[in-house]
Amino acid sequence: MLKLIKNLTKRELLYALFCVILIVGQVWLELKIPDYMSEITVLVQTEGSKMSDIILNGGYMILCALGSLIFAAGAGYFAAYIASEFSKNTRKKIFDKVQNLDTEEIKEFQTSSLITRTTNDVTQIEMLIAMGLQLLVKAPITAVWAITKILNKGWQWSAVTGVAVLILLGVITTLMIIVIPRFKLVQKLIDKINGLARENLTGIRVVRAFNAEKYQEDKFDKTNNDLTNLQLFNQKKFAIMMPVMYLIMYGLTLSIYFIGAGLIQNSLLADKITLFGNMIVFSSYAMQVIMSFLMLAMIFMIVPRADVSAKRINEVLDTKQKIIPGTFDGKTEEKGTVEFKNVSFKYPDADEYVLENISFKVNQGETIAFIGSTGSGKSTLINLVPRFYDATEGEVLIDGVNVKDYKFEALNNKLGYVPQKAVMFAGTVNYNISYGDNGKGEKSQTKIEEAAKVAQASEFIEKMDDKYETHIAHGGTNVSGGQKQRLAIARAIARDPEIYIFDDSFSALDYKTDAVLRKELKNYTKNATSLIVAQRIGTIMNADKIVVLDSGKCVGMGTHKELLKTCDVYKQIALSQLSKEELENA
Amino acid sequence: MPRPNHGPAGGQNYEKAKDFKGAIKRLFSELNTYKTLIVIAFTLAILGSVLSILAPNRLSDLTDEISAGLVINQNNMEILTKKATENLSEDKLKELLPEILKPNFSEENIQNIMQDKNISNQDKQKLGEILSNIEKNSEESFKTLAELPDSILEKIFTETTYEGKTVTSKDKITLLKMDKENKNLNLSQTLQEILFKEVTIDKIKVSSSDQYKFVKTLSTLDKNEGEENIYKTLDTLPKSVREVIEPVMNISKIKSITLLLVCMYLASALFTYIQSICMTDVANKFANNLRSRISIKINKLPLKYFDKHQVGDILSRITNDVDMIAQSMNQSLASLVSSITLFLGSIIMMFVTNWILAITAIVSSLIGFIGMAAILRKSQKYFIQRQTELGNLNGHIEEIYSGLNVVKTYNGKTEASQKFDEYNEKVCQSNKKSQFLSGLMQPIMAFIGNFGYVAVCIVGAMLTMNGQISFGVIVAFMTYVRLFTNPLSQIAQAMTSLQSTAAASERVFDFIDEPEMSSQKDITKHLDRENVKGYIDFENVVFKYDGNENPTIKDFTAHAKPGQKIAIVGPTGAGKTTMVNLLMKFYDINSGDIKIDGVSTKELTRENIHELFTMVLQDTWLFEGSIKENIIYNQKNISDDKVREVCKEVGLDHFIRTLSKGYDTILSDNESVSAGQRQLLTIARGMIQETPFLILDEATSNVDTRTEELVQSAMDKLTEGKTSFIIAHRLSTIKNADLILVMKEGNIIEQGSHNELMKQNGFYASLYNSQFEQ
């Protein structure tokens, strides 16, 4: 937490100082109010006091109240400023960090977790700062100040107040100890309830097909009852809190009065009035002390939550970027060549290699395909080209230059990458196709439409309400999977890259579209090199070169026909998908 | 998962219900079951509030009693003064003086004086004059005597005795010269004893010397001196006198008031406790009931409901919305009742006590509240703005993070950063405003309280001076001001949360009230699993999805004989699952008929139909539970051996036994069970069912090839002896199907065997050939 707070700028720290000063002023004025209050009380009580005195003191009191309001507003302004700026800057830091995180780390954190870290976790800390700056500063100041004000006014009263504070803290601590572990359990049960309902919803057909409605409901009811019982336990324990607070506060007032009565009774005449005044003042200060301890207790309830958030944020911020850009600006004689030289790859902590000793070369205009079972390393292999990962051993060369030497932008300008799961951005179709920067300036509308046409997307785009200006929703929820995939392919085409990377990008397309698209693409990009990862034999059997991977090793390389004869693994894959005659027909 | 109704943690929910009144009415009618508890809770809340209104009066009584101990006992003071100065009054002195003084006016003595050489002639002359007058006016005589010099007086007043006490001539002179106002009193022991007779007041004896000191102190007191100094002087008085005049507190009364207050506070605390326990009970049981009803409802809704509603939306009703309702019942409802009671009660009490002060208190607080309402409205605006901006920002973050590889490789980072900054700045700005404004609430509340306090004090003091009210009234009002202002903000808060609750309960009840699947009460026919032969007939089936313009299935007729294999092919999204939906009676057909062994499915219950079918779908649905539970899933009387047998058949047994807990291994997301193995598990589940019909959705190509073969052979085993409907993804497997249904854009456009369809040279043929095209 402190580590994050160190990130506050000088200006914010200065504002924090202002905030503290204002709060001190606010506390000062607030603690003056009881003085005037008792002054007014005495004035009203004594016969023959002047109206003007009452009005004067009343005026002072209102001034104090107004002053404390103004100070509080000021402090609130600064606190809001600091909290908002802080959360803005922290969010920015995390966002920048995440944008530069390596794929491996993102996998480790998981995208959803990174999102919560950037949003909810930051909000948690923002709240703590906004509240903490005011309460955390105010409560101790008030407590200490009020205590010093009343300390010499009668040890009996101080003792009672001390006891009250102890009881208060005792009750809160006991409750915390009993309830907090159960609170965590509540969260788990809520997740479980959610999980069970989700399970029922996602498997609704299966549930019904098995006539298992009752089975599911019973499961749900069990957890539901567990949750309810736990909640009841927690909340019933917590129900003690309010009445106890109430009793402590009023009990304390009563005790102070009762002790006061005794003290006054046994004192000298001259001291009685002072004692009475002290009693009234003491009781109102004692309330302030109790209230501030209550506030402190509240803060200690939110601090642990914010602390967890801070830790999660720091985890992201402390992650070191391992993939460092080079300096080469990308101007090469050679165009469209991709070469792997004895490339091996393993995850840093893993023992096993994901890829072992892979070597191949493709030239401009050629298509190379990678096939193999899941976990054979084909996706990892092409991920080495855009440097989602860096090869552990060996070199990956693009246009004869090691990818590690390129500036990121220069490398990316050569590539057109289409992931397995199409990514859509909120915006128009135009925006989605022309997305990004290829170092060749803005893409023209003709270019976009051409790309859409090649990607077999123009047909459905034309059918949309606003055609190329149609809005695509967040995550592309208003287009089908196949349409998304075609838009993603169009996006790559619009980039005019030297090298296409298709990471299983055709699986969402039906056979026919798949075939037509690849044919059109081939015609359109005669000079571009294609790297294709696929599951379907049909998709790749016309590639210039097919690399067959098995457990990270290259077990075969060649054309479809060659491989059918030479490579057992390839043959197996082919047979599982096409019948013998089909293979022969081809 | 999208949670449309939920802001970020801690953010306030400003959503409003479409029909606030209706939603609240519905909510309360649902709460009818818990009427007793709610009534108890509300009664206790009201009682507690009444106690809170009454307690301040007792407390001010207590203050009054204590402050009674500040003022000296005037009564005793008067008695003592009277007693002590009794002998000093003029009349009394007139009587007493001659007896005490006993002047020696004998001739002899006068003669002696006259001849004394130490006395001046002037004095002698004066004495002469006085003596000549003395007989005429005895009253004046002593006074005139006092004018004589001590040398003469000593001779006139010689030592005598009075009441057995020796009175020296010096004493006599002092007495003679004693000031009327008793100022500069300086009496000897003898004189004190003579003049002050011991008295007993309130059983306290005050000796003559104490009385003397008392009178002497009183005579020196300057009335214009400060109160404190007076009290300080009084504190120097002898103990007996102090005891008599000191203020008295009615300790027994103080004790009884304290005791009463302790009882009131305890009762109030107890009421609050019982009340919140009652409401907790109601809230949680109601939440439990709602969740359970939603869960049951899920299984009663027609499938078409789920076509239009997202899973996240329904989940958010179960958790967020139900939570919202429970929370607001637990916290807001009772506090609303007690706040309103407090508010009304304090207003009534104020007007009953004094209407002028009541108006003062209300008007002064109202001014503040108008200001607060304005701020509240403004801050609400910013809060909504903040929510929207935050939503935009979060959306952007989600988009960029989940598409990060594309963003990176398309050099979109700069643009993403720019957009992020833009959204981030907007959030920051609205954040500042909304947080600042909402932070103002607390201080403003405090100010309103103080302002009201002062207003009541000033107006109250004026009224006290006019003698219209006593001080106790002001003290009572000071607390009324607090009692009056606090609940207002609580009411405001409760109303906001009631708004969100209305919105939440609207959503929950909307879901619970959704129309359910058609009733099956009138269905009497039943097909036994064991006796079904396996015929399925589609006769002129027409089916249209709700909201679609054109029917998805138009006049479809086909016949399946026992043991036949029917394949359904077509591109993704062609509506292949529609066939599953109709067969399983997940949807009702619009016209035509589907018959099982000649019996119309319209005459069979859904449960009955489901009993006859085994369904294995492409999206492998497994739940968190052991492998065994997942395989047996809701089937009765399945032995462990049977489970193993089935697993052996699909080739899973070995794998399962390599797991640390074997068949009892709990399946969860992170478990190392691959997609293919999951598929096999669902096949095993289907195998255990032993039904006459099978619906099979083939595995996707996303499974590695080795497993795929395993899955394929497992599926082949599954189809043995069953009338099977297979949704095919690979054309190779369906060539030997007895009937192929070709679907495109939701329609069955061709049907027949492979050879027939190839001859037709239509869509199927082009689909089939496309995989070999260059």
Q: Which tokens go with A62? A: 């209102």
On chain B, the residues whose CB falls within 8 A of the CB of A265 are 69, 249, 251
- Band (pLDDT 50/70/90 cuts) for residue B13 is very low
**What type of residue sits at position A323?**
I
> Could you tell me which of A419, A549, A485, A511 has the C-alpha nearest to residue B705?
A549
Domain termination residue (choose one: B223, B246, B269)? B246
Q: What is the pLDDT of residues A442-475, one digit of tens each?
A: 777 887 888 888 888 887 787 777 788 888 777 6
Average pLDDT over residues A384-407: 83
Query: What confidence score (pLDDT) does residue B521 get?
Result: 79
The 8-class DSSP code of residue A406 comes to: B
Using CA atoms in the order B240, B241, B245, B246, what is the torsion angle rounded to 10 degrees? Answer: -60
> Could you tell me which of B338, B290, B337 has the C-alpha nearest to residue B317?
B290
Residue B546: CB atoms within 10 A of its CB come to 10
**What type of residue sits at position A71?**
F
The whole-angstrom separation of Cα B403 and Cα B393 is 15
Among all residues of chain A, which has the CA nearest to that of B456?
A58
Query: What confidence score (pLDDT) does residue A226 get?
Result: 92
Residues whose CB falls within 8 Å of the CB of residue B165, separated by 6 or more in sequence, listed in order: B190, B193, B194
On chain B, the residues whose CB falls within 8 A of the CB of A424 are 403
Domain span at residue B741 reads 563-573+603-770
- B160-162/B165-167 β-pairing: antiparallel
- Band (pLDDT 50/70/90 cuts) for residue B12 is very low
- Helix/strand/coil percentages in chain A, nearest 5: 65, 10, 25
Return residues 241-270 of B near A (CB < 8 Å). 242, 246-247, 249, 251, 254, 258, 261-262, 265-266, 268-270
- pLDDT at residue B79 tops 60: yes
A530–chain B Cβ distance below 8 A for any pair: no
Q: What is the pLDDT of residues A346-372, one digit of tens each?
A: 877 666 777 888 888 888 888 888 887
CA–CA distances in Å: residue A480 to residues A424, A485, A486, B181: 11, 9, 10, 114
- Band (pLDDT 50/70/90 cuts) for residue B140 is low
Per the domain annotation, does B669 fall within a domain? Answer: yes
Q: Which tokens go with B591? A: 């016209």
B670–chain A Cβ distance below 8 A for any pair: no
Average pLDDT over residues A532-555: 80
Asked if B45 contacts B268 with a C-beta cutoff of 8 angstroms, the reply is no
The 8-class DSSP code of residue A49 comes to: -
Average pLDDT over chain A, rounded to whole?
Answer: 81
Domain termination residue (choose one: B218, B246, B274)? B246
Domain termination residue (choose one: B197, B212, B246)? B246
Query: What confidence score (pLDDT) does residue A225 get?
Result: 92
Asked if A245 contacts A297 with a C-beta cutoff of 8 angstroms, the reply is no
Q: Where are the alpha helices (DSSP H) in B180-250?
A: 189-195, 208-220, 227-234, 239-245
Q: Which range is most confident: A107-111, A391-395, B308-312, B728-732?
A: A391-395
Q: What is the DSSP string of B479-522?
A: HHHHHHHHHHHHHHHHHHHHHHHHHHHHHHHHHHTS--SPP-TT
Among all residues of chain A, which has the CA nearest to that of B322?
A190
Percent of chain B whose predicted confidence (pLDDT) is above 90: 1
H-helix or E-strand spanning residue B751? strand B747-752
- Band (pLDDT 50/70/90 cuts) for residue B774 is very low
Q: What is the pLDDT of residues B370-381, one digit of tens each?
A: 877 787 777 778
Per the domain annotation, does B591 fall within a domain? Answer: no
Q: Which range is most confident: A12-26, A366-380, A568-582, B569-583?
A: A12-26
Query: What confidence score (pLDDT) does residue A222 get?
Result: 92
- pLDDT at residue A238 tops 50: yes
Q: Which tokens go with B5? A: 């109704």
On chain B, the residues whose CB falls within 8 A of the CB of A496 are none
ipTM confidence score? 0.81
- Would you call B508 exposed, middle or buried from its count of C-beta atoms within 10 A (0-12, 13-18, 19+)? buried
- pLDDT at residue B773 tops 60: no
- pLDDT at residue B536 tops 80: yes
Per the domain annotation, does B58 fall within a domain? Answer: no
Q: Checking phi first, is residue A551 left (phi over 0); if not, alpha (psi -120 to 50) or beta?
A: left
Average pLDDT over residues B456-468: 78
Average pLDDT over residues B319-340: 83
Q: Which tokens go with B646? A: 């089935």
Per the domain annotation, does B373 fall within a domain? Answer: no
Average pLDDT over residues A479-506: 82
Would you call B314 and A197 a contact, using CB atoms and an 8 Å cutoff? Answer: yes
Return residues 266-285 of A near B (CB < 8 Å). 268-270, 272-273, 276, 279-280
What is the count of structural domains for chain B? 2
Distance from CA of B411 to the nearest CA of A (A): 5
- pLDDT at residue B701 tops 50: no
The whole-angstrom separation of Cα A221 and Cα B296 is 10
B235–chain A Cβ distance below 8 A for any pair: yes
On chain A, the residues whose CB falls within 8 A of the CB of B520 are none
Asked if A457 contacts A419 with a C-beta cutoff of 8 angstroms, the reply is no
Angle between helix axes B251-298 and A213-238 (nearest 10 degrees) is 170
CATH of the domain at B687: 3.40.50.300
Return residues 109-128 of B near A (CB < 8 Å). none
Q: Which pTM does this prediction carry?
A: 0.72
- pLDDT at residue B182 tops 60: no
Per the domain annotation, does B209 fall within a domain? Answer: yes
Q: Where are the alpha helices (DSSP H) in B236-354?
A: 239-245, 251-298, 303-308, 311-316, 322-328, 334-353
Q: What is the pLDDT of residues B625-639, one digit of tens each?
A: 888 888 888 777 788
Residues whose CB falls within 8 Å of the CB of residue B725, separated by 6 or more in sequence, listed in order: B560, B566, B568, B579, B580, B583, B693, B694, B695, B696
Percent of chain A whose predicted confidence (pLDDT) is above 90: 1
Q: What is the pLDDT of residues B386-422, one digit of tens each?
A: 878 888 888 888 888 878 888 888 888 888 888 889 9
- The rounded Cα A558 to chain-centroid distance in angstroms is 46
Query: What confidence score (pLDDT) does residue B3 get?
Result: 32
Per the domain annotation, does B654 fall within a domain? Answer: yes
On chain B, the residues whose CB falls within 8 A of the CB of A514 are 770
- pLDDT at residue B258 tops 70: yes
- List phi, psi (to 5°) of A402: -60, 135
Query: What confidence score (pLDDT) does residue B16 get?
Result: 66
- pLDDT at residue A233 tops 50: yes
Q: What is the pLDDT of residues B510-524, one digit of tens each?
A: 888 888 888 777 788
| Three-class SS state of B167 | strand
Q: What angle do CA A293, A297, A302 make, to 5 degrees?
A: 145
Average pLDDT over residues B541-545: 82
Per the domain annotation, does B190 fall within a domain? Answer: yes
Query: What confidence score (pLDDT) does residue B729 get?
Result: 65
The whole-angstrom separation of Cα B547 and Cα B550 is 9
All structural domains of chain A: 2-317 (1.20.1560.10), 338-585 (3.40.50.300)
The whole-angstrom separation of Cα B31 and Cα B290 is 11
Residue A482: CB atoms within 10 A of its CB come to 22
Q: What is the pLDDT of residues B464-483, one digit of tens each?
A: 777 777 766 777 777 777 77
Q: What is the pLDDT of residues B260-317, one digit of tens each?
A: 989 988 998 899 899 888 888 999 999 999 999 988 888 888 887 877 777 777 887 8
Q: What is the DSSP string of B4-38?
A: TT--STTPPP----SSHHHHHHHHHHHGGGGHHHH
Least-confidence region, from A25-39, A300-314, B65-79, B690-704: B690-704
Per the domain annotation, does B639 fall within a domain? Answer: yes
